[in-house]
Structure 1
Amino acid sequence: MRKFLMRQNIKLFRRMMSSHSNPKVAVKQGTVVGSQGVLPGGGDFYSFKGIPYAVPPLGNLRFEAPVPLEKFSENELDCTKERDISFQKEVFSNDLVGSEDCLFLNVYTPKLKSDKPLPVMVYIHGGAYLFGSGNSDMYNPLYLLEEDVVVVTLNYRLGMLGFLSYPEGGLVGNMGLKDQALALKWVQENIHLFNGDANNVTAFGESAGSACVNLHMYSDNSKMLFHKAILQSGTSNMQWVMQMFPSYKAANLATNMGFKDTDPKKVVEYLKDPKTPPEAMLPYMLKGMTEDERRRELPIPYGPIIEPASPNAVVTNDPTQDMFINNKLDIPVMMGYNSNEGIIMVANAIKRLDDYENDLPRLIPRAVNIDIDGEEGKVICQQIREFYFKGEKVHKKTLGGLSDALSDYHFTLGAHSAAEIHAKHQHKSPLYFFRFDYDGDLGFYKKLFNFQHLRGVCHADELFYIFQTHFQDLPHKEDSQDTKIVRQMCRMWTNFAKYSNPTPSSNDALLDFKWNPVKQINGKNDEFVLDYLNISKESKMERQPDKERIHFWKDIFKMWNKDFVKPKL
C-alpha cells in the first residue's frame, strides 16, 4: 500500500510540475508551444495540439483543395489545447459543432530527443465522412506512446464541405482526402523536429478513415507519404466507400435549399457563397441520397469520387481496378474487422424490422450483378431467409441473423475480397489479417445500444483498446483482462510500425503467440486460404474467418458475377 501511495504521489507531483513546463518546437511555419504530461505507466510525454497545417478553407477556398500554410499568425503559437473540428452534427447530442476552419493536427511524442528518431503513426478517424475528429476526447494515444512511437491525429473536412462534387460546375471533390494528404505531407516535412522518423510513417484508420488510407495506398500523389498501412474495418472495395451520383446530389442539395437556377456553375457559385453558411446546407444533406441508398440503409450521402488527374488528385482510377494491378503496392499492410460489425447497423434497423421483413432484397449487396427485384432476387432472398434467419421472419428473436447479414453486407465480404485480391496480386506487400473478437468491458458502442445479448464485437469497439477516451472513464486495473488486451493491441500495432511485423520476437512475454502473414497465391488455380489472427482472450492463428457465411456469398457471387473478387460496384 505504501509503495502504491508513493507512486501516486510521484505522479501527482509530476503532473503539477508538467503544468509549468511548455516545450517549444520550431517547425517550418513557426514555433509551436506544447504541453508536458504523464503517461499511465509514469513516463513523460509531450503534446502539441491544434497545429494548423493549411490555410483556413474559408471564402473562395470552400470546396477547393487545401492550400499549405506558409507561416503561423504568431511567432509562438499556443498549441496546448485543440482547436475547432470540422463542421458537423454531433452524433450523440445532435448539436451543431465545429466550423469550416478545421484543418489542424495534433502531435504526441514520448521523447523530444533520443539516439534514434521514433517510428511515426498517423491516424485518420472514421465517422461515415460525416462526423468525428482526431481530437483527444476520442483518440488519446497514451498507451501507444508508451511503446515509443510518435502519434499524429488530424482533422479534415467532412460532409458536403469535404466531399461534395459537381465537376460540371467546376467543383472537383475529394477535399477531405486532399486535406489528409496535405497533413501527411506536413508530417514528412516537420515530424523529425518532434523526434519522429519521416522515413518510417504508418498510416492507419478505422471505418471511413481506413477506407481513406486504402485509397491513399493506391494514389500516385499520396502513397509516397507513408510506408506502412493498417486498415481497421474499411477497404476501398466496400460498397459504401465511393460516392454514387455526385452531380445529382450536389444539384439536389441546392434545389432543396430553394435555389432555382439549374446551371451547374451557378449552383456551385451559390454553394460557395459565404452568404450560404454550412448551417443552411446541413438539414438537406441526407435528403440528397438516392432512393436506392435510402432503401439499402446507407446513410452516407457524400464520399470520395474518381477525379481527373492533377498534382493534388488522390483518386484518379477506380480503386476496385487498381487492386488488381500486379505489385501496385510495395508496403506492408495490416487489415481486419470486428466479429460483429453489424450491431451498429441493428441499432437503427430495430426501429423498422418490418421494412426488412417485407423487403429482403435490400440485403442483397449491390455488387451482385442482378435485378434484386426480379426472379433472381427472389431466389437469393429465399436463400438469405433460410441461411440467416433459419426460415423465420425478421423480428427481435432473429436479430443475431440480421446482425450477421448486415456485417457481411457492409464489411465482411469487402474485407475478405480485398484480402484475396491482395494475396493474388500484391506480392511485394506482406499482409497481416485479423479478426477482433474480444468482447470486454471497454467496448462502448455495444453497451450504448444495449445489445450485450448479441455475440461478438460491434463496429468501432476495438478502438477503445487502442485509444483512451474522455467520455469513458473506467477504472484502470493493471492486472485486468481488459488491460492485457490494451497492452497487446498497442504492442502489436506499434511493432508493425517499428518492424513491419506485429509479432517480431518469440521472447515477448506479452505476446505469447505468433501472427503469420497471409500466404500469397502465385498460380491461377491455387486455392485462397485466409490465415488470420483471432484477437480474443487467448489470441491465436486460425483459418477462414466466418467461413460458412463467406462460402454462402461466394456461391452467390460465382453464380451471378462469375467471380467473388470481381464485384460490380
Structure 2
Amino acid sequence: MSLRKGFKVIDSCSIKHSRPHPKHPSNGIPFAAPPIGKLRFEKPQPPIPWTKPINATAYSKGCIPCTSAGVSRDTVSEDCLYLNVWSPNLQGLLPVFLFIHGGAYETGAASVYDAKAFRENFARRGIVVVTIQYRLGQFGFLTLNDSVITPNLGLWDQTLGLQWIQDNIGKFGGDSKRVTIMGESAGSESVSQLTISPKTQHLFQQAIQMSGTSIGAAARGTNTLTFSANWTSRLGCDLKSDYKTCLQGKTVEEFWKVKENNAWGCGPDDLNWLGFAPIIDEDFFPKPEDALKTVPKYPTIFGLNQVEGRLFSLEGASIYMSFGLGPLKWPKYNESQFVDFVKKFITFKGYTSEERDQATQDILSYYERGHDPSDAKYWVERYVESYSDWGMNVPVVREAIAKTQAGSPVYAFLMDYDNPTTWPAGAPAPGSTHSSEFPYTFGMLADFNYTQDDLTVEKYIQDALVQFIKTGNPSTTAMSWAPFSLENHDFLSLKPKPEMKTDWFGDSYRFWTDYMKKYKYDWITYGPW
C-alpha cells in the first residue's frame, strides 16, 4: 500500500513531505517500534526502519485499554504507537500543536477526536497539528517501582512522540522550535507532568492544560504500586524470579480477566479511582511541589469548568460507584450522607484520628457556609462542589500559582457557559462540567444543536487558542485576556460576553491550602505538605 499523494519514504524511516492540502492528513505514522513481545513493558524504542511505502491514510488502532468493557477487540492493539499529522499548504515553517488525549490513563485513542476539528480549526489557520497515542492501563503504567519494569512507560511514549516532532516535523512544514502541547483530563495531567520532567525540557515551548494537573492525588499514581502488585500476583507472576518475562508471556485477554469491583474496571471504588497512573519516580516524574519551583518558563493556559466533579459523581458510570449518586438518590441525599462521604472518601487518610476528625469538621463547616439547607438540591450540590474542589479546582489553581511564581506567563479561564440542553432543567449542579469545553475548543463531541451563543463562545476560545499557539498570548482583537497574577488570580470568564474576573476559585484555594496547613497532612495530595 502506498502513502497518500505528497508523501514518500526515503532513507529507511524518514519522511519526505510536499505539503498537500490539509484535508489529506498523514495518519498512522509509527513513531516507535511496536511494544510487543520482548518490548512489552520496556521503554519505547525507535521505529523499525522500513524500505517500502507505508499506508498513512487511516488512523491506527488504539492502545489496549485497561478493561474490555465496551471495547471491540479488533479496534485496539498493543501495536499502537502511531501519530497523525495535519499540515497546511503554506510556505515557511509553521507553529506546531500537539494534542494528547485523555481517558484516565486507562482508555482513549486518537481516533476518538474528529479529524475535521483539527483540520478546519487549526491546520487551515496556519498550524501543523499532531496527535499521538501512548500505552494505557497495565501496559503503560504497571510497575513495582524497581529496576525490572520502568515506571511511567506511557509518559516515555509521549516523550518519544515529542522527539519525533523534533526530528521530522520540519518535513511537514512545522517549526520544531515552536511546539505547543495540549491535553484534556489525563491528557492535561500528562502535559503537566511533561512540563516538570527533566527528560522533556527541550522538546516544546508552550502548554495548554484543560482540567488536569500533576498536583492532585489522582495524577501521582497513589494506587499504582498496589494494583500493579495485584495484577502481577493474580496473573501468577509474583513468585517468578523474572516476573517481567512472565507478564510478557500473558495475553491481553488474560490481563483483562483480572477485574476489580469498580464501574471503570481497573481501580479502587474511591474518589481516586485510577488503578494505573504515573507515579513519582524521581526520574521521569519528580515531586511536583519541588519541580515547579524551577520549572522552565513555558507560557501556559489553564482551563476549568464550573462543576468539574459532576461528571464523576452524578453522571455516567460514576453512579454505579459507591460514592456516585444517580437521579433517584438526589431527593433523599442529606447532611448525614454528606458527612459519611467526607469521612469515607476524603479524610479517611491522615496521620492521626484526631486530625482526621477535626479536618472533617472543618470541611463540613466550609462547605455549609452561605447556602440554604432548605433547598432540596443543597446537599447534592455540596457533595459535587467538594468533589470538584478536591479533585480538580484546588490542584489546578495551585499549579497556576506555582508556575506564575517560577516566572511562567500563565493565562487562566473558567468555562462559564454551557448549552442549557446538556443537563436537565432543575437538576442539581447545573453548568459546565468535565470535558464540557470540547464542543467549543474543538467544535466536536457536541450532543446538541449549536445556538448563536454556542457559536460565539466557540469562536472566542478557538481564536484565542490559535493566537496563543502562534504568539504565546491568547488575547485577540475581539477579546482581551490578561495574564494570571499572584495578587489577583485573574481569569477569563468565558461566555457569550466574556470578561476578566479575579480570585479564580479563591475561597476554596485558601481553605484547602492556607487554612488546612494547620494540619501536617495535605488531603489534596494525600501526603505531607
**TM-score, normalised to structure 1's length?**
0.79
Of 127, 146, 157, the match for 1:179: 157
d(CA) in 2 for partners of 1:191, 1:33: 10
- Shift of residue 531 of structure 1? 0.8
d(CA) in 2 for partners of 1:396, 1:59: 53
- The answer (yes or no) to whether the contact 2:151–2:281 under 8 Å persists in 1 is yes
| CA deviation vs aligned residue, 1:79-136 (integer Å, no higher than 9, x gap) | 111111101268983555511111010001122x41x211100011111100111225
- The answer (yes or no) to whether the contact 1:372–1:378 under 8 Å persists in 2 is no
Of 474, 480, 487, the match for 1:514: 480
Query: SS state of the match for residue 182, structure 2?
Result: strand
- Shift of residue 295 of structure 1? 5.6
The two structures, once aligned, show a CA RMSD in angstroms of 3.5
- Shift of residue 499 of structure 1? 0.6
| CA deviation vs aligned residue, 1:34-84 (integer Å, no higher than 9, x gap) | 9977xxxxxx53310111111100001111100011423x52211111111
Of 30, 54, 76, the match for 2:53: 76
* 2:527 equivalent in structure 1: 568
| CA deviation vs aligned residue, 1:454-483 (integer Å, no higher than 9, x gap) | 3221101112212244x6576677xx2222
Aligned positions of 1:252-291 closer than 5 A: 252-257=230-235, 259=236, 262-263=238-239, 265-273=241-249, 276-284=250-258, 286=260
- The answer (yes or no) to whether the contact 2:380–2:428 under 8 Å persists in 1 is no
* 1:411 equivalent in structure 2: 392
* 1:305 equivalent in structure 2: 279
* 1:324 equivalent in structure 2: 293
- Shift of residue 318 of structure 1? 1.3
Instruction: Rate the CA distance shift 1:564–1:475 in 2: closer, same or farther, 3 A.
Output: closer
- The answer (yes or no) to whether the contact 2:95–2:174 under 8 Å persists in 1 is yes
- Shift of residue 154 of structure 1? 0.7
Aligned positions of 1:331-350 closer than 5 A: 331-346=298-313, 347=315, 348=318, 349-350=324-325
d(CA) in 1 for partners of 2:482, 2:504: 15
- Shift of residue 559 of structure 1? 2.6
Is 1:496 the counterpart of 2:468? The answer is: yes
Instruction: Rate the CA distance shift 1:456–1:550 in 2: closer, same or farther, 3 A.
Output: farther
d(CA) in 2 for partners of 1:280, 1:358: 37
Of 214, 221, 235, the match for 2:192: 214
AA in 1 matched with 2:293: F
Query: SS state of the match for residue 34, structure 2?
Result: coil
Query: SS state of the match for residue 237, structure 1?
Result: coil
- The answer (yes or no) to whether the contact 1:34–1:46 under 8 Å persists in 2 is no
- Shift of residue 390 of structure 1? 5.3
* 1:430 equivalent in structure 2: 409
Aligned positions of 1:49-448 closer than 5 A: 49-72=27-50, 75-88=52-65, 93=70, 95-96=72-73, 97-111=75-89, 113-114=90-91, 116-135=92-111, 137-138=113-114, 140-141=117-118, 142-168=120-146, 170-244=148-222, 246-257=224-235, 259=236, 262-263=238-239, 265-273=241-249, 276-284=250-258, 286=260, 294=268, 296-307=270-281, 309=283, 314-315=284-285, 317-325=286-294, 328-346=295-313, 347=315, 348=318, 349-351=324-326, 356=338, 358-364=340-346, 371=353, 374-383=356-365, 386-387=368-369, 398-424=379-405, 426-427=406-407, 429-440=408-419, 446-447=422-423
- Shift of residue 208 of structure 1? 1.0
- Shift of residue 501 of structure 1? 0.4
Is 1:22 the counterpart of 2:5? The answer is: yes
- Shift of residue 336 of structure 1? 2.4
AA in 1 matched with 2:418: D
Query: SS state of the match for residue 512, structure 2?
Result: helix
* 1:462 equivalent in structure 2: 437
d(CA) in 2 for partners of 1:562, 1:284: 33
Instruction: Rate the CA distance shift 1:81–1:55 in 2: closer, same or farther, 3 A.
Output: same
